[in-house]
Amino acid sequence: MLFLVLPGDLLAEPQLEKFFTQHCVKCHGPEKQKGKVRLDRPADVLFADGELLESIASMLESGDMPPEKAPQPKAEARAKALQLLQKHILTQRPANPLKRLTRAEYTNTIRDLFGVDFDFNDLLPPDHVEHGFDKFGEAHLMSPHQVMAYLKTARFVAERLLPDAKPETGDWGFNASHFHGSENFAVGGGGDYRDGDGFILTGFRPYRSNIHFSTKSDAYERFKIPAFGRYRLDVQVESVDSNEAEIIGINLGDGRYPTSIRSVHRIPLPHRSKSFTTELTLKAGDQLAFTFDSARIPGNKFPRKHKGPKLRFTKMKVTGPLVEEWPTSAMQAILPDPDMKPGELVDHLALLLTQRPLSAEDRPAFVEIVETQRASGASPAATARNALIALLTSPHFVYKAESPELTRVELAHRLSYFLWNSVPDAKLLAFAKSDGLGKDPSAQVERMLKDAKAGRFIDDFTRQWLQRDKVDNFGPDVRVFKNVRRMTVDSMGREGRELFRHLLENSLSMEHFIDSDFVMVNDRLARFYGLPAVKGDTFVPVKLPTKSERGGLVAQAGFLKLTSTDFATSPIHRGSWILKNLYNERIEPPADILINEPDIRGTTTIREAILKHQELESCARCHSKIDPLGFALEYYDPVGRKRGEYRHVEELPVERNGTTFTKKLKFTKVPIEAAMKLPNGREVRDLPTLKAALMADKELILKGIIGKLISYAHGREVTRADRPYIDAVFQATQKQNHSLRAAIHAIVAHPKFGRK
């Protein structure tokens, strides 16, 4: 007979020995190692594997193990095993590896330190996402390519913050004779054309109609930004044949190749408005193009015959680089005294960038850089540039400093990168240095949440948690969803952020993420949902009609579209999204699992095909939880509209002159059968019963959301060892109706917030 070797406190429990021997070692011993798990190893090896302990405890707690067909332990024995496993897990501090600044954090940090708005999308590579977030240290590997990217970025920053000469401000005027659109090139005609003293845009897709500019009215030479800086755009434009606000896109790139231009800003143009003014930070060589982002049509081969809304551009003026003071505030901050000694300059820049002095071991190397520059005859500005490049590329700036017990300055940085995605300001640093954060951080948390910079946290956290940026990754196919406009889809992607913002700013309950009697909508989303009219692009709360099924995250069109394909819904994607993002469950299969595709011949519906998966032992454990949650949402189509039956779409090949096309669509209607039972026996059959089931699990879901917030704040995945932390935050919010704002306060006030 095989026995599991256990540490002393576990050996004192014969019931636990018997439990593992009877229910675990048979499948996870010397003869079999299902899931590559072997439990007859020495105790010091077994219990050093924190991830394994997490897995064992989770399986026992959920009832997934032992398998349903195996002998089941008594409830008392299972509970005792869980108690002892949990006790051991809690002795292990979750690993929190070194973390570097993400691209967004780097951008915000430079902006807040120097007051300059840089776009680093073309310089720094995108960050790897680990378990939903890009802030996790496990994902922050530093490759040679990454090092070179940081060096290139540091040079870009230093050269523009410390220019050799004051830039000259110029202005350039354009009228319709300077305007050009996609009609001028072999990209298909687009929806743009010149009309007297104006230039008209009618469409956006598929050709991405645009207006760009030439320097002369009688010759085509594209206008390019001459030098880095802040530029003001004064544009005369009005909407025609429109009775609502429209959206203008400002883009960078060569308008001759419109599929490659990149949107950088959007301007809501109020109804009857005839102009707008905005400012952008641009770099030398940038080319501007305007698009009609709220266009109703997908492009028009005959734009002059278009009867719908149009944008009519008549004039534009570009002014810049705008120089409000010289030397600039950034120049004064970096080099307050040109005669600073090398050591003084290095110490000054290190404190400016990190609020920490350099270590005695590292400081001499930076001082030597300055001394070498001085000896070569470099100017004070050139010397400061090189010192700045070296420090911006160093681990002191790129990586976040975190001691096992955070210092006062490190604690200020953790709080600031949590709520502002950037460095702490002077007030927060002063408060932290007086140990105020360690005693009572509430006043500072309130101040920070009321600051405009908290919008970065709202935007970045919801983008990653809710995957908002993927809502418009594809479709909707205009051949199938003819009335779904582009900016309506854009609004779908913003709804989750606006709900989070509304709950946070108004101290409302996190229960509204599960269900609510209101929705956050702008003009387009209100129209899409069939709600009373809302004016403008700004999101506002709107009370739902009594019989409406909307409200909460899972009823949002953005979520329903995100978890669908071009033509069809995906119950598996919808169900797994709920488990991962609301319950905060990990549902990844073991690495060695063999997933045999079931024989689905003879199935006629999505339901029948997916139920075949539940017949396989390798799939049943997860699918029994996933499928009911996803199928309950089948009464909502791929763009989040209510439906009473499936409309299957099939692309049929069409031959013309020997060439095969796939443009003809075949539609087949099939009844929806959505009723399923959750593992706890509760039936869900539609959105209202799903919400009722989620509300019954309110504590689990609210703790799941709290766990997501803690993960984001700490830059690591939460584990079972964090349960007391999560439980304490949950308890702290109870007296405040589980307010989202109260949860953030409780996270920061907890002692673990101040630990690595």
Average pLDDT of the residues of the chain: 86
565 burial class (0-12, 13-18, 19+ CB within 10 angstroms)?
Answer: middle
**Cis amide prior to 321 (ω within 30 degrees):** yes
316 burial class (0-12, 13-18, 19+ CB within 10 angstroms)?
Answer: buried
Partners of 214 in the β-ladder? 222
pLDDT of residue 35: 65
Confidence band of 47 (pLDDT split at 50, 70, 90):
low
Q: What would the pLDDT profile of 713-725 be if each residue is shown by its tens digit?
A: 999 989 888 999 9
3-state class percentages of the chain: helix first, strand second, coil last, to nearest 5: 45, 15, 40
* Phi, psi for 109 (deg, rounded to 5): -65, -45
Interval 28-52 mean pLDDT: 68
Query: pTM of the predicted model, to two decimals?
Result: 0.87
Beta 288-292 vs 246-252: how paired, if at all? antiparallel
Interval 220-242 mean pLDDT: 94
Q: What would the pLDDT profile of 58-109 be if each residue is shown by its tens digit?
A: 777 666 677 767 777 777 767 777 776 766 666 666 566 789 999 999 999 9
Torsion-angle region of 387 (φ positive above 0: left; ψ -120 to 50: alpha; else: beta): alpha
**Percent of the chain at pLDDT above 90?**
61
CB neighbour list of residue 602: distance below 8 Å, 6 or more residues apart: none
| Six token digits for residue 338 | 């040109």
| Six token digits for residue 46 | 């077994």
How many residues are present in the chain?
Answer: 756
Beta 179-181 vs 192-195: how paired, if at all? unpaired
Q: What would the pLDDT profile of 461-488 be if each residue is shown by its tens digit?
A: 999 999 999 998 766 677 788 778 888 9
Angle, nearest 10°, between helix axes 698-714 and 408-419? 120
Q: What would the pLDDT profile of 327-367 be if each residue is shown by its tens digit?
A: 999 999 999 999 999 999 999 999 999 999 999 999 999 99
| Six token digits for residue 436 | 């105020």
Q: What would the pLDDT profile of 197-213 be if each residue is shown by its tens digit?
A: 999 998 876 567 899 99
> How far apart are the C-alpha atoms of 85 and 95, rounded to whole Å?
18
Partners of 238 in the β-ladder? 312
Strands, E assignment, 196-245? 198-201, 211-213, 229-240
Interval 528-547 mean pLDDT: 95
Beta 246-252 vs 645-656: how paired, if at all? unpaired
Chain centre distance of CA 439: 32
